[in-house]
Structure 1
């Protein structure tokens, strides 16, 4: 009975696969931290411009990157089913989709960078933030190519290359930031704009590293040519089942990737934009409230990397077994992932409560901000418990290609419950004797995510009751 709920062998597999994912995701957070810290050393205005434009960049860019997350479970399904040759075709169609989305989002960023007055930015701040966005947009195609190839490799359970490349990108980001921010090697000092230039170059460096890795790795030699059919369709290998060549551009497959990935992308956008809007709504309450909320949010984002790595690993492992038609084993793997997620979040919640003062001291030494943050961290710790259930459940649902329900639940929980309830608790006395400030939003986050976790759990129960035939039909749609 124990092994039908939790598999120790699968837990060990999760650690070996998930640890590189954790490091890779943390390195991406590290690049944002480096940008903020190094621009802050240049000037406070430049740091503020990077922070504000970053809050615009994140939710919009996730609409594009989130669509590509469908490639990971789709690739895992093909590997599990023994159809490795089709993974190369999937990779190429992901690149076509990336090109289309890049052009679309780059045009949007270009437009927004010229009209930042819509976000209340004026003067020097608007000039710096706009320049940062215009510099960053040129790195978007590189980052999306990186995500494409990373998803392709994840389908083969290869997570270490993305970890190594992510660390290399983080290491490169520091000296390149230094050159462009402060104007070294004969270049002008660009400040916040230099952060955007440096990060764009690092994105392309990461993409090229992944490109050359899959080109040279002998494991994928049988799948070659991986990229040449983008331009030369006659070089494509035949389909193993009917002998017909892969098309250069497969519109039906591109639309399928978009159909599976877009709901998940919307969910990511809803989540990130909720925190962005929350910070804006708390701004009138003063810098102490905003600072305390920012510390709790930043530390929460760091801890979130742990359940996120479990989410990605769950998508890979469950996707493999579903592709192979081993539905019962996929369910055991999913339950194991949920158990690991709850166990890890419980440990992190306990550590957060034990070392609250030390955590706050890392960020600030202001007594008033520290006192406020001390009251927020217990709520943040409880939030992590329900967030782990929600995050891992989303990874399992992605493995089933059941993504439409994700966007619907996120919309209702974040924007239907979290935002209005958070505003009511933090800024009004309709439900409480007095406005709760930042605590009001964290209480709302907790309730909203609790609702989401419950909905995802119920959805997983429905999927677990489906027969093998129904499940296989679902993942092949």
Structure 2
């Protein structure tokens, strides 16, 4: 990662960092994508079970582990300010914090899993698959959290291609294990959705060990000597990590858990609706990896420039990312509108499920435009280390506006389950508009500070 001076250079650097992140995110998400798609080919009941299980797993995967994404702006600022000697301590404290968080989640899950599932109106097979899917995949929580810290360190140095290679190398393993365990090949019993959980947990362990080996053996990471010594736990450093990371993680958790909450509400509409909703949500989330990757790239670049106090350059990166996100969303939204029926057939051969999935995907088209604005803005604000307002607006947009509106539309209009999706779209649009003003405010504030320092 280097300082840039022209807009063309900034576009090139943004592109160089963005593309590997996108491929990495798509590969990471593909684990869930193949879990759901391959389980759907096994049976609709198992697809519904994985859908319910995913409704609990996704907030943990993306939200709570998102707390550890604070390592990215922390390291980016240190590198930008040329304080590289402080990087190893921050990374290892992040690893310690990640392990502690993972163990806490496992303990909480041990006591709450049965009551949560028992409170839902689930068929016996769906209940069994959901429970065992979550138990299976929970064995991968510790390595997943550790990997997120290590990946944040690697990405903060601008070496996003490395995490891309690590994740891509593990994807064929995940698909192969899915095939063997879901459908009972090579002498293994047919496990359906439960096998998908086991396959994902094993894959998380694999990518974590690969990342540790690379950081310990390859340049430029070896120069930071991350694993050469292990300092004691520093709660003061944990305070910095969590003070920055908790708003990041909670804002992500709020966004992902709202979709999980909707999935739980969908249980009242029957197994086919649950399966169709989850299939459409899964593909919409797959496309969401594009604006999310732009967001992560902006966190790195804006953090690097902001750490070096080059606020004008940081602002240019912000607008380039938002503009690029909107352009790509127009393209992907159009393609999804045209081919939504074909996409639905990827998930199920059941005609009723396909028709319902296609209808849900029509609403998914409108997700793309709001996400294209919201996600890059969130990434830029994280690069500025401005995270508290993002969390507050996520809470208001989704839980105060989106979910209540969706519930009213679903229960008091003819929209039925589709009303929830319309409510979510309204929440996304609200967040995009309000955080746009916040980004402008933060940028103007930093420019005023810089002018006063020069004066």
Q: What TM-score results when the alignment is normalised by the length of structure 1?
A: 0.85
Separation in 1 of the partners of 2:185 and 2:110? 27
- 1:8-27 counterparts in 2 under 5 A? 8-27=8-27
CA offset at residue 350 of structure 1?
A: 2.5
CA offset at residue 217 of structure 1?
A: 0.8
Is the aligned partner of 1:212 residue 2:213?
A: yes
- 1:125-140 counterparts in 2 under 5 A? 125-140=126-141
Asked whether the equivalents of residues 36 and 279 of structure 2 are also in contact (C-alpha less than 8 Å), the reply is no
Which residue is 2:299 aligned to?
Answer: 315
Which residue is 1:245 aligned to?
Answer: none
Separation in 2 of the partners of 1:138 and 1:273? 21
CA spacing shift, 1:348–1:55, aligned 2, 3 Å: same
Separation in 1 of the partners of 2:189 and 2:280? 36
Is the aligned partner of 1:440 residue 2:423?
A: no
Is the aligned partner of 1:334 residue 2:335?
A: no
Asked whether the equivalents of residues 280 and 358 of structure 2 are also in contact (C-alpha less than 8 Å), the reply is no
CA offset at residue 175 of structure 1?
A: 2.5
CA offset at residue 354 of structure 1?
A: 3.6
SS in structure 1 of the partner of residue 220 of structure 2: helix
CA spacing shift, 1:358–1:176, aligned 2, 3 Å: closer
SS in structure 1 of the partner of residue 162 of structure 2: helix
Q: Which moved more, 1:250-259 or 1:120-129?
A: 120-129
CA offset at residue 370 of structure 1?
A: 5.9
- 1:259-298 counterparts in 2 under 5 A? 259-285=243-269, 290=274, 293-298=277-282
Which residue is 1:72 aligned to?
Answer: 72
Is the aligned partner of 1:451 residue 2:424?
A: no
Which residue is 1:107 aligned to?
Answer: 107
CA spacing shift, 1:438–1:12, aligned 2, 3 Å: farther
Deviations 1:407-454 (A, max 9, x none): 11111110101111111112204xxxxx22244233322221111111
Separation in 1 of the partners of 2:46 and 2:111? 21
Which residue is 2:385 aligned to?
Answer: 401
- 1:241-256 counterparts in 2 under 5 A? 248-256=232-240
Which residue is 1:461 aligned to?
Answer: 440
Which residue is 1:119 aligned to?
Answer: 120
Which residue is 2:203 aligned to?
Answer: 202
Asked whether the equivalents of residues 67 and 249 of structure 2 are also in contact (C-alpha less than 8 Å), the reply is yes
Deviations 1:41-87 (A, max 9, x none): 55554443322212111113434311101111111111111112212
Q: Which moved more, 1:57-66 or 1:396-405?
A: 57-66
- 1:80-91 counterparts in 2 under 5 A? 80-91=80-91
CA offset at residue 14 of structure 1?
A: 1.7
Asked whether the equivalents of residues 11 and 340 of structure 1 are also in contact (C-alpha less than 8 Å), the reply is no
Is the aligned partner of 1:143 residue 2:137?
A: no
CA RMSD of aligned residues (A): 2.7
CA offset at residue 341 of structure 1?
A: 1.0
Separation in 1 of the partners of 2:331 and 2:42? 38
SS in structure 1 of the partner of residue 82 of structure 2: coil
Deviations 1:381-429 (A, max 9, x none): 2331121111100001111111111111111110101111111112204
Separation in 1 of the partners of 2:38 and 2:446? 55
- 1:376-387 counterparts in 2 under 5 A? 376-387=360-371
Is the aligned partner of 1:417 residue 2:401?
A: yes
CA offset at residue 29 of structure 1?
A: 1.8
What is the aligned residue count?
446
Separation in 1 of the partners of 2:283 and 2:166? 24
Q: What TM-score results when the alignment is normalised by the length of structure 2?
A: 0.89
Separation in 1 of the partners of 2:383 and 2:44? 44
Which ranges of structure 1 fall in alignment gaps of 5 or more residues?
1-5, 234-247, 430-434, 473-477
CA offset at residue 293 of structure 1?
A: 3.8
- 1:55-66 counterparts in 2 under 5 A? 55-66=55-66
